[in-house]
Amino acid sequence: MNFDTTKLDATGKVVLDHIYDLETPLHFYNALSELDYSIPAEANPVFEKLISFLQKNKANKEIKLIDLGSSYGVNSALLKSKKSLNDLLERYKVRELKNSTSNELIKKDKSWYQVEKNSITIIGADVSERALDYALKTNLINNKLCGNFEERTLTETETQIIENTDLIISTGCIGYVGYQTIKELLNSLTPKQPIMAHFVLRTISFEKIEQEISKNGYKTYKSKMPFRQRSFASKEEKTSTLERLIEMGLNPENYEAEGSYYAHLYISLPSGIEFTSLPEGIKSYF
Ligand SMILES: C[S@@+](CC[C@H](N)C(=O)[O-])C[C@H]1O[C@@H](n2cnc3c(N)ncnc32)[C@H](O)[C@@H]1O
């Protein structure tokens, strides 16, 4: 791997910041391919089912969602194009694409994704303006929300961009963002209360977010089984993860001890939406 896999961040993960803020996702997908990345593919059927559930209660079937920590639009690609995560992880290994300029690659990607207008409006939310611009230029997202809402509030224009959001989703983002961002989004959306579905590494606690949003009337449900996220990048990352899990009172056997990160799905429902009303396909995860 062409980065230091022994350098860990405060949560014990290797530092991947260098792939999150570039003009194209070439290095992002190539690095994650080496780590056998899987969480967006695991999460996609859950997101699809939640979108169908929300569409049932809407005459025009138009659904608006925020993908928090959307990066280059990976969740959008799975929701809006016919590409699979595997297609994305394989695509950028090709020499011709590796040698393209950023502008050439964006043009090629736009016609490769072939995103057509559909009833899902996706707002990509991230701190990386470059990643969001790539996702916009390739039509993967409809609009962007760029900023660190751990540190500041939304502007009036940003509030208008997200108004009437039905669903907030995330993969691989909680931990980078905490309750401040979630509260800020919910406050800006008031009185609308979107459903939320977050995939959160087992090494990261969702407790503070759960407590804070319960003040807004949300009830949170945690999946029975965790979902595989990616392989560990190094033995240092694995060791620190196992130590952390044990400190948290969690048993890594059959999961992280086998060499991969695992994430739980947390679904948060606003008052007025009962867990029992969710489709069987969703309830079966809990
Ligand atoms: C591990 S990546 C996940 C990307 C994508 N959701 C996926 O599953 O592949 C984490 C993303 O969170 C973004 N991020 C980090 N801090 C953030 C913050 N404070 N607010 C929003 N996004 C943030 C990073 O720029 C990066 O794109």
- Whether 11 maps to a domain, the answer reads no
> Is residue 115 one of the residues assigned to a domain?
yes
pLDDT score, position 53:
97
Tell me the pTM: 0.97
Strand, helix or coil for residue 92: coil
- Domain assignment present for residue 7? The answer is no
CATH of residue 179's domain is 3.40.50.150
Does the residue 162 lie in any domain? yes
Residues 39-48 have pLDDT tens digits of 999 999 999 9
CA 67, 69, 71: angle at the middle one, nearest 5?
95
Residue whose CA is closest, atom 2 of ligand 1? 172
Whose CA is closest to atom 15 on ligand 1? 176
What distances in angstroms separate CA 75 from CA 27, 216, 279, one per listed residue?
17, 27, 21
pLDDT tens over the chain, length 286 residues: 778 888 898 888 888 889 999 999 999 999 999 999 999 999 999 999 999 999 998 999 999 999 999 999 999 999 999 999 999 999 999 888 989 999 999 999 999 999 988 889 999 999 999 999 999 999 999 999 999 999 999 999 999 999 999 999 999 999 999 999 999 999 999 999 999 999 999 999 999 999 999 999 999 999 999 999 999 999 999 999 999 999 999 999 999 999 999 999 999 999 999 999 999 999 999 9
Q: What is the pLDDT of residues 248-281, one digit of tens each?
A: 999 999 999 999 999 999 999 999 999 999 999 9
Within-domain flag for 89? yes
- The rounded Å distance from CA 248 to ligand 1 centre is 24
Chain centroid offset of residue 3 CA: 23
d(CA 90, CA 10): 31
- Hey, which of 173, 199, 229 would you mutate to test ligand 1's pocket, going by the most ligand atoms within 8 Å of its Cβ? 173
If we measure between CA atoms, which residue out of 16, 10, 28, 6 comes closest to residue 178?
10
Q: Is residue 4 in a domain?
A: no
| Spacing, Cα 170 to ligand 1 middle (Å) | 9
- Give the number of domains in the chain: 1
If you measure from the C-alpha of residue 176 to the centroid of ligand 1, how many angstroms do you get, rounded to a whole number? 7
Q: Using a 6 Å cutoff on CB, does residue 38 contact ligand 1?
A: no
Asked whether 171 lines ligand 1 (CB < 6 A), one says yes
**CA 201–ligand 1 middle distance (angstroms):** 13
Q: Is the previous residue joined to 226 through a cis bond, with omega within 30 degrees of 0? A: no
Catalogue the E-assigned strands of the chain.
63-68, 120-126, 143-146, 167-171, 195-201, 219-222, 227-231, 260-269
Residue 2 lies in a domain: no
Question: What is the number of the ligand 1 atom nearest to the C-alpha of 176?
Answer: 16
Domain-located, residue 53: yes
Residue 231 structural domain: 17-283
- The three state secondary structure string of 122-140 is EEEEECCHHHHHHHHHCCC
Q: What pLDDT, on the 0 to 100 scale, is given for residue 1?
A: 75
